[in-house]
Amino acid sequence: MVVSFTGSTETGRKVMMAATMSNLKPVSLELGGKSPVLIFDDADVDKTVSRSSLVTVYNFQGEICVAFSRVYVQEGIYDEFEKKVVEKAKTWVVGDPFDPKIQQGSQTSKAQFEKILSYIELGKKEGATLLTGKKDLETREDMLISQDEIFGPVMTSRLLLPRRVSHMLRPPDAILLYLSETAFGNTVSLKDFIFDNSLITTFVER
């Protein structure tokens, strides 16, 4: 017999403890995620906006563990990406999920909805700015909104460390270390958002 659980990290720990206190049943856990996507200057911004943010974060109401909820954009296209994400988000249709014209349904419960709002408010209190199209969204990696799995349609974006040719200045290892400052992970996306194959290979090897 194997106990399989997919859900929050907090509940997963309780499942694991219960299994060890019984007859040491094997346990398979699929828990939280806070997956980043790295977007470099040579990316197709229009394609990246539709695929990196709206599709993975807003689809399924953001209730998917591999949603790209952390977006890191290189400085050369950061402003353009930010502007187009806002424009696209404003066209997103929320409503009855059984209506084929609707792109995003409701959250699973009122409690989850309120939890998502509380993360947004906490992020603002910690210094983040809610993106409205008129102001930049400034977040830090130590903010809870950047650290915890929100499990909702919330995406944080920030400037990726500038890429340099010299490994003495900005090696890929530094960027990966920077991205791993959260306890969650699941996926890191590079493919399809950049055209520099050598850069993809460099990151994969690490």
Would you please indicate which residues are annotated as catalytic (active-site) residues? 30
Q: How big is the CA angle at 20 (ends 19 and 22), to the nearest 5 degrees? A: 65
Tokens of 16: 């694991």
Report how far residue 108's alpha carbon sits from residue 118's, in angstroms, rounded to the nearest whole number: 16
Report how far residue 160's alpha carbon sits from residue 85's, in angstroms, rounded to the nearest whole number: 16
Q: Phi then psi for 163, rounded to 5 degrees?
A: -80, 140
By CB neighbour count within 10 A (0-12 exposed, 13-18 middle, 19+ buried), where does 51 fall?
middle
| Residues in the chain, overall count | 206
Query: Of 29, 36, 1, 35, which is closest to residue 14 (Cα–Cα)?
Result: 29
Contact 94, 60 (CB under 8 A): no
